[in-house]
Amino acid sequence: MHHIIDKISLLLLCILFSMATPLWAEGDAPHIFRLLILDSQMGHPYDEVRLAMLKRLQKFGYRRSQNLQVNIFSADNDIVKGVRILQRESKRDYDVIFVGGTVATMAARQPLDGGRVPVVFGSPTDPVGIGVIKDFMTPPESNFTGVCYPVRYCNSDFFSLLSTNMRSKIVHTRLRSIAQWIGLHI
């Protein structure tokens, strides 16, 4: 879990640092960076990832009520609700949008793809199947980047336990790209 938070935080930091270095010039008021967070739902694991990410940003000088404004929303595991939130909020002047989880990433695709605001996804199950990235080997072609859910291929015996019927269902779902990514070739 910590390596995911580190990667997400690093992506957000790179985006924020690329927008303004230093954070503010002498004599100027600090720039307030605006971060929109849409989580798939409230609760575990989204709360932990979000809080750890904000804590990490604070370590690098981004502090709420000083130079970082954060607006947090939940899609309540409802893609349509997530789309509505993002359509409404994308009219505001955000510097970065973070979408946490599969539902939030799916909701973000249509209203935000190709926009001017960078979108960082965290922990969607299959960003390739969702269509926010082309594959895991190609740099992002759009304004989406992030870290997918950490599926580890530990033991091929696990997959041998799956019935032939179950393997067929995996192949014919949108999760096929994730199956290939973890080394499952059916």
Domains of the chain by start residue, with CATH: 2-150 (3.40.50.2300), 152-186 (no CATH)
Give 39's strand partners. 74, 100
96-100 vs 119-122, strand pairing mode:
parallel
Of the ranges 30-34, 113-117, 129-133, 173-177, which one carries the lowest mean pLDDT score?
173-177
Of the ranges 35-39, 164-168, 174-178, which one carries the lowest mean pLDDT score?
164-168
Query: Which residue's structure tokens are 């539902």?
Result: 103
In angstroms, rounded to a whole number, what is the distance separating the alpha carbons of residues 175 and 149? 12
Of the ranges 37-46, 115-124, 140-149, 173-182, which one carries the lowest mean pLDDT score?
173-182
Q: What is the pLDDT of residues 99-128, one digit of tens each?
A: 999 999 999 999 999 998 989 888 888 888
Gyration radius of the chain's alpha carbons: 18
CA atoms 71, 76, 82, 85: torsion sign: negative
For the cut 90, the answer to whether the pLDDT of residue 26 exceeds it is: no
Q: What is the pLDDT of residues 76-100, one digit of tens each?
A: 999 999 999 999 999 999 999 999 9
Of the ranges 37-41, 92-96, 138-142, 175-179, which one carries the lowest mean pLDDT score?
175-179
Tell me the mean pLDDT in the region 49-73: 87
pTM here?
0.72
Where are the extended beta strands (E) located within the chain? Answer: 33-39, 68-74, 96-100, 119-122, 144-147
pLDDT score for 2: 57
Q: Are 98 and 37 in contact (CB under 8 A)?
A: yes
Quickly count: other Cβ atoms within 10 Å of residue 6's Cβ. Answer: 14
The helix or strand, by DSSP H or E, that contains position 121, with its residue range, turns out to be strand 119-122
